[in-house]
Every structure is written in C-alpha cells, then in structure tokens.
Structure 1
Amino acid sequence: MPRFLTPLLYERSGRFSVEKALFLLASLLPAAWLAGRAMAGDLGPRPWTEAIHFTGLWAVRFLAVTLAISPLRRLLMLPKLYFGRRVFGVATLGYALLHLALFILDQGAGRALSEIVLRVYLVIGAVALLLLVALGATSWDGAIRRLGGERWNRLHKAVFVIAALGSVHFFLQSKLDVTEPVLMSGVFLFLMVYRIAVKLFGTVTPLGLAGLAVVASGLTAGAEMAWYGLATRVDPWLVLEANLSFDLGLRPAWWVLIGGLAVAAGTAAWGRLAPARKGAGGRKMAPA
C-alpha cells in the first residue's frame, strides 16, 4: 500500500479504521462517476468544460463537508467523525488540483497561465488553491509535530479564507446562473454562524440551531440579492420577491433553511434516542 494512504486508512495506534475507509470511499465516488461518464461519452458537447466544472463543484462540496465535520461531531457526540476531517480535506485538495489540471489540459499550459493572470476570478481561485496546498502539505502528523499545535491551528484557520475565496471564484465563474454558488455559500454561512454561536454561548441547543437556520437562510437570500444588485442589472428586489415565492421552485435560501431545520430536528432526535451520548457533552472537542 502507498505510504501516503496510511494516515487515511489507519488510526495512530496502527489499527485499520473502517470509518476512515468509508470516508475515503465516499471521497472517491464522484471521481469514479466522472470517469464512468467520460468513458460512456456522457459529458455533453463540451466534455472538457463539463469535467472542469464537475471537479470544481466537488472541491467546493468537499470543503463544505470538511467544515461540517467538527460541528456534527460536537452535536452528535460521535468522536470518530473526526477521522473524516483529514480524509475530506485531502479530497478537497485532490479535486481542486484535478480541476486545475483539466483546465491546463484543455487550454494548454501557456494559455492557461495567461488566463489565470488576466482574469480576476482565476486569480482568486489560484490563491485559494495555493492555500489548500499549504494546508494539505501540513496535514500529516510529522508536520503537526514540527509546527506545534498552536501554530498548526493558526495556519489551518486559513480554511475559512479558502471557503470565502472559493465562493467568490464560484460566483464569478458562474456568471448569470448562480443558483449553485448561492446554495454553497449558504451552507458556508450556516456553518460560520454556528461557530460564532458556539464561541459566544459555548453550546447550541436544537432550538438554537433552528434559529441559526433562519439567520443563515436570511443571509443566503441577502447574498443572492447583493450579487444580482452588484454584478448584474437585475433588480435585487425582484430577486427578493423570487425568494419569497415558489413560482420558480425553491430558491437556495429555502434549501438552507430546510437543511438547517433538518439538522436541528436530527440533533434533537439523536439526543432522545441516545441519551447516554449526551453525557459526553462536557468533553472539550477539537477546534472547529
């Protein structure tokens, strides 16, 4: 087995981790799906563009999953979820690098470099990728020991900068149809307001989570309004009206609200079904 896979499959004690193996398998499924579609000729009339967008989207999604691990671990009192943070963090880097590699293969190295230098959204994406590489290079136990826990934690807080840069890159790249960028930004906003609430109050109840879902939903709608108001000529009040009606289906703000309420309900149900786990609530969790 390649040595770089050892930390992704084994615990520090040397025991094979079923949880890590499942997380790794989940992280590889989108790549397998993309490969299958490519072999079947199912990537549409612009296969390179489709593959580039696909890998970029999954890089953002896995970044969201990585950021969700610590909150879910705290809320559900499942310490082994912690294993997923490294696996999904590496997956985020892997899909981001594949995203860049496909872009270079499609455009050619010279043109790709000139495009990155000349286009603001590509510069933002490149900065986010460089930060991801820095985090990936220091995600191993040896690097943690060399840096020390405090410096390592400070460095890895750059993940929040990466989330912000990735969201901006996603918005600018998507141009007119920003449904997916708004949705992912809403997920990041929910995760951030949760962390702020934990910093302020120490713990968040299921009812508090429901309140945070409402706040994050409102921020998501505001982000969509701001985008259309600043980047296009669409009246932002029409965007607000679209968010409040269902004529165009559920807008991202509604999905953020539904998802947040589902997390709140799931947390409450888990607490009732597994009361023994609630006794672990006093334990200090790893930094989010």
Structure 2
Amino acid sequence: MNVAVIGCGYVGKAVAQYWRQELGFTVTATTTSPERISELEAVGQRVVLTKGDDLAGLQSVLENQDTVLLSIGAKNADVYEETYLKTAHSLVSALKQTPSVRQLIYTGSYAVYGDKNGEWVDEESPVAPANKNGQILCDTEQVLLSASTENLGVCILRLGGIHGPGRELSKIFSRVVGTTRPGNGEDTTNWIHQNDIVAAIEFARKHKFQGIYNLVDDAHLTYRELLDRVCNQHNLPKVSWDESQKSVRPYNARVSTQKLKAAGFQLSHPETI
C-alpha cells in the first residue's frame, strides 16, 4: 500500500508513523519547512518539500499512491485561504492527473457548524460558519468533495478540538487558568484525542469511507465544566466568568458521532478528561 500524507503536523505525522511502523505501508510525507525534513524521514520513506499551491510538487507526491491524507493546519488566522482553499484547488487539479489514487481523506473541523446555541448537529445539519475562516473551511470541503468519482472516494472527517501526547489540555489552557473569561461558560465543547483521530483515519481508509463524518468524543462538556476539571486535576487556579460580557467563542454545537459509530468505529478515549 502506497500512502501519501500531505501536511505532517501533529495529526499527519502520527498517522504517517502508524501507517509505516504498524502496517508496513510505503509512506510519502510532505512538509513546507526544510528544517523538518530530517524529522519526517523517521516516519516516511520519502519526504517531499512542497507547498499547497505547487501543482507540480503535488503531482509528484501523488504519483503511484493508493490513498492520500490531507491533514493541514493554518499557522495563523491570516493564512486560512492560502492554507486550505488554495491547497484544495491544487490538490483536486493534481488528482485529475493521477488515476492511481482511490481515496482522499481530509481532516476538517466541526467549526463549519458555527453557533447552534448548544443544539445537537449531525452530518445532515446545515453548515453556518461564524466568520470568514469558517466559510473558507466550508468552501474547502466542497472543493474536495467535487473531486469524487467512481474511482476516487473522498472522505471528510470533521474533528473536534485536538488533544493528546504533547498537547495536553493543561498546556492548551495554560494562558486561561486563573483569568476571568467573558460569558457564563455554558457553551458546549467538542474534543477528540490524537489516538482516536489516527484510528478513525485508518478505519476510514480500510472501509473506503466516502462523504462526511463527525469525529469528536462523547463528553460534550461545557466550557466551564472542562476548565473546572482541568484546573482541579492539575491543581491550577480556577477560571472565573463575567456574565455581563458576551462569550467570544464562535462555535457552540453538540456534535453527534452516531454516523461513525453506526459504521462500527469505537472511541478509545470517549471522555475528554
């Protein structure tokens, strides 16, 4: 099995490592940073330095691949269009020239649902991005889905907030502990552990998933509950809330993973904390 991982950040690198070391696949890994080439040579037999708008570079990556994982992340809010949408357009163009690829898996975000006032959402719920970058994520999904053909399946996994080894919740919220936050903290959160992301990507590859699947854990804690538990567990100063101010969180939806579970997938980390 020849697999390509476009974007070897926190998730992509872990998937590349699993595919190579546990399953014996031949892995091509990409990065936009020359200084990461030697690091990625430990998880991929081939490492390619390329950017998302480099059509020739992407065509080189895709050659003779069976499965492609697109797992990219914007370095900051100003480069969403360049990171996500331009890469999607280039990748779709490259896929048209590469008939060997039978499946594309993309790690997206539940951010596309926007603010649903804490109501349940599933894959059939209308998207309602809360800002421009949320809209870019929606547009990216549509561009990638447009590449689907009889010979090429496209699977989109809408992930919750990502935590795991090296990205512990105590680190993620280190700047928040002991502060006062706007709102009442009752917004719903959706998280997913790195191990479950890796497992779900392999599950999607193995079962040739097509279409959209949500991927979050079962906890659905409120922001207040989550921060209270993190602070209690690590003996950190509690977070206070100022209900006179409006919450600044653009996402408030309770994300269902029933579709993924009905397909047979089981979470190994169903509780966030």
Richer in helix (by share)? 1
Select the structure of larger CA radius of gyration. Answer: 1
TM-score with structure 1 setting the length: 0.31
